[in-house]
Every structure is written in structure tokens, then in C-alpha cells.
Amino acid sequence: MREYFCDDLLPLSSSRPAPEPYDNCPATTDIRHAAFKAVGRIAAFDQSFTDYTRKRVPPGHSCCYGWCAKVEIADPGLASPAACRDANGLHESFCMRELEGGTSRPVQSPFDRCPAALKPPEVVAFSAPSAALFDASQTTQRRRDMQLADCCYGWCSITPAGTVLKTPHPKTK
């Protein structure tokens, strides 16, 4: 899958600039903030994601970079929805760009470039399960409504006892 990183704190010029009119952006940078294991070490300037980001985040000075990363596709049968019914269950979710090359375990159209389940990256989870299921009903559809080609996944982590605050019962007379 393709991951992205955008930066607003840039030099006024670069010794190896991106093409005009983005020549204040370096053409490449080191990979930063990767969720999944990157295929290489260098992120290349991405004009389309830069344009998208500049339109959404005024005043529009961001420079965005992309790279390929390896996603671990999971067996949907390994997901543990029972964790959400546990008193210490913590709802978590993760969204990523749809896989450009598709997947061997897709969900139905129009999300057929999304795996039915994946192993969430450790950096985005309290406790990453071995499999998280695709969530078409809420999160993914909201992202698609915003014109983002994203795939979203949900799961529940079990937190250690005492870390989840219980809602006190209201006092009644």
C-alpha cells in the first residue's frame, strides 16, 4: 500500500527540488511516521497528494511524500469481536489508503481493493490484534464521502483491569 507524509516546515529552496511550481519542496525525503514496514528508505514527492492536501489545509504550503509499505493481510476468522463485549474492551479503528494492486481477500464492491481483514500496525493500537475486520458501515463510508479512497478497520483491545473508568450509576432518591 502507499503511505504518505506531509510537511509544512520547509526550506525556501532545495538543492534537489520537486518540479515547478513545487520547487520549494525537496524531491525526496527520509520516510517518517510509517505505520507499516516501508519497502525502501526514501519517500518521493507526490504531486497529487500535495495538491489534495493544499486544497484541504490552507494556506496550502504543504509538500507531501509517498512510499510503498507492506500490509499484513489477515484471515477474517482470526478476528475476536467478543473483546468488544468485555468490560475492559477499548474500541479502536485504523484507516489506510486502499491497496492499489487490490488484494487476494477482498470485501464486496465498491470496496474490492480493501482486504476483508488485516493485522493493524502496532503504532496505531493500544493492543494490535492478529486480525481486524473491515468496517464498511460507518468509518469507511464517511471517508469515501470525503472523497478519500480509504479502507477502515475496527477491533477492541482488552485493557488491563483498572484502566477503563466505569461510568458511575446516577444517585437516585
Q: Sketch the domain layout of the chain as residue ranges.
A: 2-70, 76-158
Residue 141 dihedral angles phi and psi, to the nearest 5°: -65, -40
pLDDT of residue 18: 87
Maximum CA pair distance of the chain? Answer: 74
The confidence band for 61, taking pLDDT boundaries of 50, 70 and 90, is confident
Tell me which DSSP letter residue 106 carries.
Answer: B
- Helix ranges (H only) for the chain are 47-56, 141-145
pLDDT tens digits for range 40-52:
999 999 999 899 8
What does the pLDDT look like over 139-157, one tens digit per residue? 888 888 888 888 999 888 8
Cα 17 from Cα 41, distance rounded (Å): 18
Note the pLDDT tens digit of each residue in 67-125.
999 999 999 988 887 777 878 778 888 888 898 888 989 998 889 999 999 998 887 77
Are 76 and 102 a contacting pair, CB within 8 Å? no
Q: Residue 53 — φ and ψ, nearest 5°?
A: -70, -40
pLDDT at position 67, please? 94
Nearest CA to 66 out of 80, 52, 56 is that of: 52
Q: By the 8 A CB rule, do 66 and 7 touch?
A: no
